[in-house]
Amino acid sequence: MKIHLLLFAGAAEVAGTSDVTMEVGQAATIGELRGKIVDEFPDLGPIVGRSMFALNETYVSDDAAISDGDEVACIPPVSGG
């Protein structure tokens, strides 16, 4: 199944893109996706390790299951304000 991955700020800069379509296995979790992102973009390892993830605009933990067509966002430590 395919998911839509959003990258922001320093993560987007390192990856050279802010928007990636990724193929993941059935019943994949956010934790598994972390590994897959780093496989595809090895330079993202450090920042992905420090990031939260959001599934369809809601923060989730690593055991959250991903469904086909989901929008997944990698949220590095925020610095608004």
Write out the residues near other proteins by the rule CB under 8 A: 6, 8-10, 12-13, 47, 50, 52, 54, 57-59, 61, 73, 75-81
**3-class secondary-structure state, position 8:** coil
Taking CA atoms, 64 is separated from 12, 23, 50, in Å, by 23, 17, 17
In the complex with other proteins, the residue whose CB is nearer, 27 or 61, is 61
> Quick count: other Cβ atoms within 10 Å of Cβ 36?
16
Instruction: Provide the minimum distance between the beta carbon of 60 and other proteins in the complex, in angstroms, as a whole number.
Output: 9
Residue 65's CB is within 10 A of a number of other CB atoms, namely 13
